[in-house]
Structure 1
């Protein structure tokens, strides 16, 4: 995504789009619903079509959808980055604000790259607990926040450094570990979903940003490894989870993708759907050998897509409309199999 500090009004968001680039599990018994209930595609995906709007959001209110966690019934929990809110979108597209993360006393002016607080990644436990990332420019507010079912008061679960820019997050259901991509510090963090202390799990030049841009962005746990994008370099990388949970060597699996934000796997294999947030709004299909093709565009309703969640043969795509400033939305599309 592209935003800078300033108003959440639609005109402010559109102007901010000319600034810096950002894209954007609990105990094993409380894993993400998407991970635990997904019926994986049985064959490689050849195309994505039949895109339909699920919901349209309010750009003027800062409802710039940044990340998605699916509920068991197919409804969605999302983060709105600019308004730093958590919302629920039901199957009919009705949107309800679940909670608003508190604004820092200084307005978040020290938030890296943005100068304003932003909500980013979200993960859901089977018990309904939502884990949300917040970048606020101070260690007492930046990090993982937790929202328990029925509550409207999120609590700060684990702190990250003030100069951290936590972005993508996923829950490893085997170990109850949250993995977090840090777009500013070239790092993947691990955090116990039950609470505790954040650990630098992997730090590598492959995760680094370019000058005036951001690095490690989207993140998923898949096939015994952590997968992460780098929006600056248009890459997707795989980091094996080794013995004792230690990080293995970084493997670059795809290059030349452009400003790639969030992503998800189409099934049990290593085929990926990825959101290209800048330039022509696109969703691309990335094959295990790194080749890729465009499967959705602005003609399908995309407006700076930031997030993807796949369940079975259905893909959910969130668009923040950072540069278009007109129609942040959530789309549902069908995966066609070979």
Structure 2
């Protein structure tokens, strides 16, 4: 999740909170350009059959954020300012699974944005759905589980001054990992719940005045994280005892990056660029190519998930446009 530059927008987001950015009445959904395969270097990844699967209610604060795929083709999505967790079915139908309460005082002490947010979502192998809530208050900020009854429960509290953003389940080590965009850290906590501790506070995760560590994935024996302020993706090796090694920068020049995912071709990455409203392919050597942009309907692109040959992309429309949505594309080799 990322309210970003240019400087005017960044200052406005920090001063007024994201609520002010969403106050304008929603306009008619923007048209999406006719999908077409984007040519790429031979043997590289390209996308085709790009379409909008679901539209969300911008006026109600449904700023689409992270994505957790489910068996059968549905996905679970966190809605930032609506403080909601929703499910989008294969046919595009949207079901609200949970709405988090406003904290006392309205959450104006929430770090960075000054408004409470539901951000990262994750689904365990057993089917349990977890999500992050940032409220600016202890006892509410942390990792929550969506119970079958629909009533969420707090399983891992996090400090009030954190902004938990991306949530990953490390099944091998039975733990959660959480990026903290305010503190520039990655937290860890037992999958069974309980107390969290800092897994890494490497300087490469630190913000440069605004938003630090953001998206995160586990891949190739390491934890990978994006840094929005620095426009980087870093790789942090996991040591034999599950600890963190020293971070190495694997990609640069991605200013305003939010979430990212791996395509299945080694360390090739698809990166969601919130500030630029685009989806960028990042090759193993750091070379970059824009696959989708505003012409394809990108508006404040927040997250991307790859499942087989399906690519899910959320557009939050938090700094550009007025049409938050979930898009679906086909992953191809060109």
Residues 279 and 292 of structure 2 are in contact (CA less than 8 Å); yes or no, is this contact kept in structure 1? yes
Please give the per-residue CA displacement for 1:105-146, whole angstroms capped at 9, x wherever unaligned.
Answer: 111111001111001111001222111011100121111011
| Further displaced range: 88-97 or 188-197 | 188-197
Residues 13 and 322 of structure 1 are in contact (CA less than 8 Å); yes or no, is this contact kept in structure 2? no
Alignment of 1:175-194 (within 5 A): 175-194=173-192
Residues 257 and 273 of structure 2 are in contact (CA less than 8 Å); yes or no, is this contact kept in structure 1? yes
Alignment of 1:1-338 (within 5 A): 1-2=2-3, 3=13, 4-5=16-17, 7=19, 10-12=22-24, 45-148=44-147, 150-211=148-209, 213-267=210-264, 269-279=266-276, 281-338=277-334
SS at match of 2:241: helix
Residues 13 and 323 of structure 1 are in contact (CA less than 8 Å); yes or no, is this contact kept in structure 2? no
Task: Find the counterpart in structure 1 of residue 9 from structure 2.
Answer: none
Structure 2: how far apart are the matches of 1:138 and 1:233? 28
Residues 8 and 59 of structure 1 are in contact (CA less than 8 Å); yes or no, is this contact kept in structure 2? no
SS at match of 1:174: helix
Higher relative contact order (CA 8 A, sep 6+): 1
Task: Find the counterpart in structure 2 of residue 39 from structure 1.
Answer: none
Residues 21 and 318 of structure 2 are in contact (CA less than 8 Å); yes or no, is this contact kept in structure 1? no
Residues 64 and 324 of structure 2 are in contact (CA less than 8 Å); yes or no, is this contact kept in structure 1? yes
User: How far off its partner does 1:8 sit?
Assistant: 7.3
Residues 76 and 88 of structure 1 are in contact (CA less than 8 Å); yes or no, is this contact kept in structure 2? yes
Please give the per-residue CA displacement for 1:49-78, whole angstroms capped at 9, x wherever unaligned.
Answer: 221110000000111001100001111100
Structure 2: how far apart are the matches of 1:295 and 1:253? 20
Structure 2: how far apart are the matches of 1:113 and 1:159? 19
SS at match of 1:107: helix
Residues 273 and 300 of structure 2 are in contact (CA less than 8 Å); yes or no, is this contact kept in structure 1? yes
Structure 1: how far apart are the matches of 2:74 and 2:180? 28
Structure 2: how far apart are the matches of 1:197 and 1:13? 41
Structure 2: how far apart are the matches of 1:123 and 1:139? 22
Which runs of 5 or more structure 2 residues have no equivalent in the other structure? 4-12, 27-41
Which runs of 5 or more structure 1 residues have no equivalent in the other structure? 15-42
SS at match of 1:327: coil
User: How far off its partner does 1:44 sit?
Assistant: 5.8
User: How far off its partner does 1:192 sit?
Assistant: 1.3
Structure 1: how far apart are the matches of 2:231 and 2:306? 21
Residues 117 and 134 of structure 2 are in contact (CA less than 8 Å); yes or no, is this contact kept in structure 1? yes
User: How far off its partner does 1:9 sit?
Assistant: 8.3
Please give the per-residue CA displacement for 1:227-268, whole angstroms capped at 9, x wherever unaligned.
Answer: 000000110000011111010110110011121100000015
Please give the per-residue CA displacement for 1:5-28, whole angstroms capped at 9, x wherever unaligned.
Answer: 3647843599xxxxxxxxxxxxxx
| Further displaced range: 119-128 or 283-292 | 119-128
